[in-house]
């Protein structure tokens, strides 16, 4: 018996999965560069969030057309992956349609038939997505941050999906033709409601040619899936995997509620303790703690969930299209905030790969990626957070970077400095003495 095909298949499978695992380890390492944050409370609510938003696609259908098409692609890929399991078993053991030999009968026909119908629907949906991007040219896909690689990435993934579905249907069509011819090794199994229409394309071909077509489509299909899997790390489509942990670790507090900085809380407690000596030397055996930075100027100052958010961003642009600052022409795109954070994090990761540890490269997230103008354009309305279909929070990054500007650099805009001065002196944002605050009622 010739075991070469199985050996080759095992090698391809191991290389594909091994490279994917290597990149996932890099991703986890990069996320862990952020500060730890405890998001393990309210587990029931977190599981419900993940089931409703990531698995159930609840927030996708807010925009019905895109939402419905996305659900077709999403469900199609999940269910069709059952067929991938059969391909892997066949590839490793030299079988053909191994599930058909388990006595499933009509159930196997229904299974293959449903795969085909879903594959066709996925193909149609992907074509519509391509038309929306390239012919209709929806505005949210053409913001400045979507030039170059982000635009190409969106199209590349659509081409991937088209090719995979066409290969799947071609493989089945050739297989069905060989079954009808009674070819050896091609057992009568499966229903082919879509690929049966490809049979006329194979008329006049001999058995050997059909086997070459079927085997070529089979090999290209599984290799394509492995390439697709490894492409995810370099693509916005990493959200296929990360949407689940991202929705589980989402902030469950009311959207208008901001977290207190632990570093500020420590300072306030020290100031309020009458027995505390801020200048006291550390006790014997204790190391003097370096003062914690207020806010964030680089990705290492953000927390791990914020970095997970950056990798999960789908670049769909729903956040930016809902942002009132963006709508009025200000230089702010919440999507760009997430893309810039991810790009900087990737740059830091490559620095670590090269040097073994992070070596100062003279860059940071603030100014080199995200400008101050962008940060101060935000109205903190939470529209971007509400709009995101996978529970990403661009506002939290904006607020942490603003905190750094105000508390570390005293670099707030003049209007904000005036307001804070009024609050300090007058107990209100307005420039009126507290004694005169109610004079309006006498007018």
Backbone angles phi, psi at 370, to 5 degrees: -110, 125
Distance CA 83, CA 116 (A): 10
Distance CA 131, CA 54 (A): 25
* Chain CA centroid to CA 75, Å: 17
Show the domain range for 383: 262-278+291-429
Query: Does any domain span residue 304?
Result: yes
Q: Is residue 128 located within the same domain as residue 178?
A: yes
Q: Is residue 212 located within the same domain as residue 272?
A: no
Q: Is residue 128 located within the same domain as residue 70?
A: yes
**Of 45, 401, 387, nearest to 249 (Cα)?**
45
Q: Say if CB 323 and CB 145 are below 8 A apart.
A: no
Question: Three-state SS string across 240-266, please?
Answer: HHHHHHHHHCCCCCCCCCCCCCHHHHH
Query: Does any domain span residue 316?
Result: yes
Q: Is the dihedral of CA 286, 288, 294, 296 positive or negative?
A: negative
Distance CA 138, CA 165 (A): 25
What's the CATH number where 345 sits? Answer: 1.10.1060
Q: What's the pLDDT score for residue 50?
A: 95
Q: Is residue 209 located within the same domain as residue 328?
A: no
Q: What's the pLDDT score for residue 155?
A: 93
Query: Could you tell me which residues come within 8 angstroms of residue 344 by beta carbon, excluding any fewer than 6 positions away?
Result: 298, 299, 363, 364, 365, 368, 369
Distance CA 10, CA 197 (A): 33
162 Rama class: left (phi>0) / alpha (psi -120 to 50) / beta = alpha
Q: Is residue 309 located within the same domain as residue 211?
A: no
Q: What's the pLDDT score for residue 288?
A: 56
Query: Does any domain span residue 310?
Result: yes
Q: Is residue 134 located within the same domain as residue 86?
A: yes
Q: Is residue 148 located within the same domain as residue 67?
A: yes
Query: Does any domain span residue 131?
Result: yes
Give the H/E segment covering residue 398: helix 394-407
Q: Is residue 71 located within the same domain as residue 218?
A: yes
Backbone angles phi, psi at 254, to 5 degrees: -55, 145
Q: What's the pLDDT score for residue 326?
A: 95
Q: Say if CB 79 and CB 168 are below 8 A apart.
A: no
Distance CA 383, CA 306 (A): 17
Q: What is the per-residue burial (b if ≥16 Cβ within 10 Å, else e) of 331-355?
A: ebbbbbbbbbbbbbbbebbebeeee
**Of 153, 119, 118, nearest to 133 (Cα)?**
153
**Three-state secondary-structure class, residue 303:** strand
Q: Say if CB 32 and CB 299 are below 8 A apart.
A: no
Q: Is residue 186 located within the same domain as residue 221?
A: yes
Q: Kindly state the tokens that stand for 26.
A: 């890099």
Q: Is residue 173 located within the same domain as residue 129?
A: yes
Tens of each residue's pLDDT in the chain, 443 residues = 578 889 999 999 999 999 999 999 999 999 999 999 999 999 999 999 999 999 998 999 889 988 999 999 988 878 887 888 889 999 999 888 888 888 777 888 888 999 999 999 999 999 999 999 999 999 999 999 999 999 999 999 999 999 999 999 999 999 999 998 888 888 888 889 999 999 999 988 999 999 999 999 999 999 999 999 999 999 999 999 999 999 999 999 888 888 777 777 877 887 788 777 766 666 665 555 666 788 999 999 999 999 999 999 999 999 999 999 999 999 999 999 999 999 999 999 999 999 999 999 999 999 999 999 999 999 999 999 999 999 999 999 999 999 999 989 988 888 888 888 888 888 888 887 777 777 766 65
Q: What is the pLDDT of residues 389-407, one digit of tens each?
A: 999 999 999 999 999 999 8
Query: Does any domain span residue 203?
Result: yes
Q: Is residue 138 located within the same domain as residue 25?
A: yes
Q: Say if CB 338 and CB 310 are below 8 A apart.
A: yes
264 Rama class: left (phi>0) / alpha (psi -120 to 50) / beta = alpha
User: For the chain, how many structural domains are there in total?
Assistant: 2
pTM: 0.88
Query: Does any domain span residue 189?
Result: yes
Distance CA 207, CA 227 (A): 30
Q: What's the pLDDT score for residue 127?
A: 96
**Three-state secondary-structure class, residue 94:** coil
Q: Is residue 81 located within the same domain as residue 188?
A: yes
């Amino acid at each position: 018996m010739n075991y070469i095909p199985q050996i080759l298949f095992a090698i391809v499978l191991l290389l594909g999965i091994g490279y994917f695992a290597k990149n996932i380890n890099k991703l986890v390492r990069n996320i862990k560069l952020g500060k730890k944050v405890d998001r393990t409370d309210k587990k029931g609510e977190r599981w419900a969030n993940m089931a409703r938003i990531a698995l159930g696609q609840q927030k996708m259908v807010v925009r019905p057309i895109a939402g419905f098409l996305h659900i077709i692609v999403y469900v199609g890929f999940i269910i069709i992956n059952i067929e991938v399991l059969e391909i892997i078993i066949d590839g490793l053991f030299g079988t053909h349609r191994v599930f058909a030999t388990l006595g499933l009968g009509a159930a196997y026909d229904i299974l293959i038939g449903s795969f085909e119908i879903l594959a066709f629907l996925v193909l149609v949906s992907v074509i519509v997505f391509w038309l929306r991007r390239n012919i209709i040219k929806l505005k949210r896909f053409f913001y400045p941050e979507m030039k170059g690689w982000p635009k190409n990435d969106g199209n590349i993934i659509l081409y991937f999906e088209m090719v995979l579905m066409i290969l799947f249907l071609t493989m089945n069509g050739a297989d069905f033709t060989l079954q009808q011819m009674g070819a050896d090794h091609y057992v009568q199994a499966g229903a082919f409601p879509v690929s049966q229409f490809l049979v006329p394309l194979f008329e006049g071909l001999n058995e050997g040619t059909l086997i070459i077509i079927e085997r070529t489509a089979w090999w290209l299909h599984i290799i394509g899936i492995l390439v697709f899997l490894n492409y995810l790390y370099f693509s916005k489509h990493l959200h296929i995997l990360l949407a689940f942990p991202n929705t589980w670790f989402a902030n469950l507090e009311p959207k208008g509620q901001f977290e207190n900085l632990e570093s500020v809380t420590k300072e306030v407690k020290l100031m309020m303790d009458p027995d505390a000596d801020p200048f006291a030397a550390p006790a014997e055996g204790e190391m003097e703690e370096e003062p914690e930075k207020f806010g964030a100027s680089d990705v290492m100052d953000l927390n791990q969930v914020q970095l997970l958010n950056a990798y999960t961003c789908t670049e769909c642009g729903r956040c930016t299209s809902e942002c009132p600052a963006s709508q009025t022409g200000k230089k702010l795109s919440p999507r760009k905030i997430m893309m810039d954070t991810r790009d900087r994090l990737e740059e830091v990761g490559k620095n670590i790969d090269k040097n073994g540890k992070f070596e100062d490269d003279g860059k940071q997230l603030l100014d080199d990626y995200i400008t101050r103008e962008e940060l101060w354009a935000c109205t903190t309305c939470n529209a971007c957070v509400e709009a995101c279909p996978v529970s990403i929070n661009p506002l939290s990054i904006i607020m942490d970077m603003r905190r750094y500007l105000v508390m570390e650099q005293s670099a707030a805009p003049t209007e904000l400095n005036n307001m804070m001065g009024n609050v300090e002196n007058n107990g209100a944002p307005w420039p009126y003495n507290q004694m005169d605050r109610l004079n309006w009622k006498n007018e």
